[in-house]
Amino acid sequence: MTEAFDLHPSRSHLTWLEQRLVTRNAQYAEFSGIYPLSDGLEAFAALYTLIEKAERSLDIQYYIWQNDMSGRLLFSALLDAAERGVQVRLLLDDNNTPGLDETPAQLDRHPNITVRLFNPFSFRTLRALGYLTDFARLNRRMHNKSFTVDGITTLVGGRNVGDEYFGTGNEPLFADLDVMAVGPVVEEVAKDFADYWNSKPVSPLKKVLEETDDDKSAVRLPDAWRHSEAVQIYLQRLDTSDFVSQLERGKLELTWAKTRLLSDDPRKGLGKARRKSLLPQRMLEVIGTPQRQFDIISAYFVPTRAGVAQLLTLKRKGVKIAILTNSLAANDVSIVHAGYAKWRKKLLRHGIALYELKPQAALQDAPHDRGLTGNSGSSLHAKTFSVDQRMLFIGSFNFDPRSAELNTEMGLVIESEALAKQTHQRFSQSMRDRAWTLRLDKWGRVNWLEYPGEPQEVVHKHEPGCSWWQRLQVRLVWRLPIECLL
């Protein structure tokens, strides 16, 4: 299926995006068109181009927005859009905005831009004081990522805004995954954004930041960096984007499938969401129980005792289960890795396949993604899983207690054999080169296998690429009763 349907047939004027993404074939009215964005450059090209082409509205929700090259380029593009008359609403989680107050404050002064913060900190400089006085609230963050343009198309997935997510240097191998969607699911995302925008955990920026004498002056963003060689080279690379060229010609190759949004109640940010509304429970209701195959890709995999029990129940029923997560060498947060490492032997003993992604040198200076609980500077940041090669989830949800109980999360459930099989094949084919395969030796110890060449096999007896001190930290941490915070 390659055709779309007219979302706004009553309008006399079709926007640039409507002309290229919307046709008038109501045959597929129940389906949404999906375009996967696994490449960092393509993902940035999609965001940048869609901002440039926006004519009516931009509703944007992110956990992290870095003040680096890609972040500044997108901030400037938002200001340009507002100058054209586009109504911009920007919702940021406040956990990752230290040192960034000035730019959102400048944008918020524009009559067409409104900025709001989720669970904002009262102390703007010494934020640790906020955790000491208001930990129960500030420990709950908005991990959602969505980007909706003109009510016509939306991007949802695992990426934050920052150079490390968009391949500005040497791009990581299997870093992240977003999808662009058109069709009925866009309205679901738009409604969900409005629910968050008007929710109690969210505050207007003007109520959080003190007003200054410059508040009535013209809106200005620093732009000297625009002329740097690195920026010019990166912008030139956008011209090679398949996404941009296909979109310009109105020939974007979409996969049409039944798609629905799953999103946490924003009241989860205050600890007031009903348990049956939380994402794990709703996933089970919508997706059902795997019958044959269950592939999990999660940057942070902390299964907990209950989660392990559920996986083993599936395995006993004959379901093949494979899990890809970060290795300790790729993720320097022992406190998070420990929550996974303590369960490896049990999972392997029961025949669950485990793969740990090797580190990528390009990510040594990666951004902090999880505040006090970790650093997302790892080779893997994607959060997706496929069920029976027929259904796929792509979003912000990690398989860990923090995603399940503390942070708000969102994602799309896509009923597409084509996309699910594509993900499964990519998962299976790439693991041999990009990840260590885990197995137990005859003494019941975990070994890490890699295959530098056929039929050569290299076996590591300890976590490869790590010091004895890192391994000791993991063993010490997994004995602490902090799993519910990971």
Task: Kindly report each contact of residues 368-372 with a partner whose C-beta sits within 8 Å and lies 24 or more positions away, as own/partner.
Answer: 368/96, 369/63, 369/64, 369/96, 369/160, 370/333, 370/336, 370/402, 371/95, 371/96, 371/141, 372/131, 372/139
Choose one of 248, 266, 289: the last residue of a domain: 248
Asked if residue 316 and residue 173 are part of one domain, the reply reads: no
- Between CA 295 and CA 384 the distance in angstroms is 8
Q: What is the pLDDT of residues 229-252, one digit of tens each?
A: 888 888 888 888 999 999 999 889
- On the question of pLDDT at 32 being above 60, the answer is yes
pLDDT at residue 127 tops 50: yes
- pLDDT one-digit tens code per residue, 266-289: 999 999 999 988 998 898 888 888
Residue in 212, 27, 266, 221 with CA at minimum distance from that of residue 107: 221
Task: Choose, from 53, 337, 358, 383, the residue flagged as catalytic.
Answer: 383
Residue 53 is among the residues annotated as catalytic for this protein: no
**Domain match, 215 and 294 both:** no
The answer to whether 202 touches 194, Cβ cutoff 8 Å, is: no
Mark 5-29 as b/e (b = at least 16 C-beta within 10 Å): bebeeeeeeebbbbebbbeeeeebe
Domain check: are 76 and 217 in the same one?
Answer: yes
- Active site annotation includes 145: yes
pLDDT class of 217 with cuts at 50, 70, 90: low
- Of the residues 143, 337, 342, 358, only one is catalytic, namely 143
CATH code (residue 135): 3.30.870.10
Report if residue 269 sits inside a domain: no
231/228 Cα distance (integer angstroms): 5
| Helix/strand/coil for 424 | helix
427 and 387, same structural domain?
yes
What pLDDT does residue 91 have? 98
% of the chain surpassing 90 pLDDT: 57
Residues 203 and 324 in one domain: no
The active-site residue, picked from 53, 342, 358, 381, is: 381
List CB contacts of 15: < 8 A, sequence separation 6 or more.
Answer: 53, 55, 56, 150, 152
Same domain, 222 and 334: no
* Per-residue confidence band for 213, with pLDDT thresholds at 50, 70 and 90: low
Q: Is 207 a catalytic residue?
A: no
Q: How far apart are CA 281 and CA 482, in angstroms?
A: 22
CA 176, CA 164: separation in Å to the nearest integer?
A: 10
The whole-number pLDDT of residue 237 equals 87
455 preceded by a cis bond (ω within 30 of 0) = yes
The CA-CA-CA angle for residues 326, 332, 333, to 5°, reads 90
Predicted confidence band of residue 360 (pLDDT cuts 50, 70, 90): low
Tokens of 6: 């007219």
Which is the catalytic residue, given 53, 145, 268, 337?
145
Same domain, 182 and 280: no
Q: What pLDDT score was predicted for residue 149?
A: 98
Q: What percent of the chain has pLDDT over 70?
A: 87
Q: How far apart are CA 123 and CA 95, in angstroms?
A: 12
Q: Give the chain's largest Cα–Cα span.
A: 73
Residues 58 and 325: their CA atoms lie apart, in Å, by 33
Q: Is the pLDDT of residue 25 over 50?
A: no
Angle at 398 between CA 197 and CA 387, to 5 degrees: 110
Q: Which of 59, 93, 94, 150 is catalytic?
A: 150
CA distances from 52 to 78, 157, 197, 479 (A): 8, 21, 23, 51
In a domain, 2, yes or no: no
pLDDT tens digits, one per residue of 140-195:
999 999 999 999 999 999 999 998 888 775 444 446 889 999 999 999 999 999 99
Phi, psi (degrees; rounded to nearest 5) at 409: -140, 165
Where residue 309 falls among pLDDT bands split at 50, 70, 90? very high
For residue 416, tell me if it sits in a domain.
yes
Q: Is 143 a catalytic residue?
A: yes
Same domain, 146 and 286: no
Do residues 213 and 354 both lie within one domain? Answer: no
Q: Which structural domain range is residue 112 located in?
A: 16-248
Mark whether 388 is an active-site residue: yes
Given the residues 178, 265, 295, 388, select the one marked as catalytic: 388
Question: Highest mean pLDDT: which of 120-124, 147-151, 306-310, 402-406?
Answer: 147-151
Active site residue 424: no
Residues 216 and 307 in one domain: no
pLDDT at residue 69 tops 80:
yes
Going by pLDDT thresholds of 50, 70 and 90, the confidence category of residue 367 is very low
Query: 170 and 46 in one domain?
Result: yes
How many structural domains compose the chain?
2
Token representation of residue 465:
């690429």
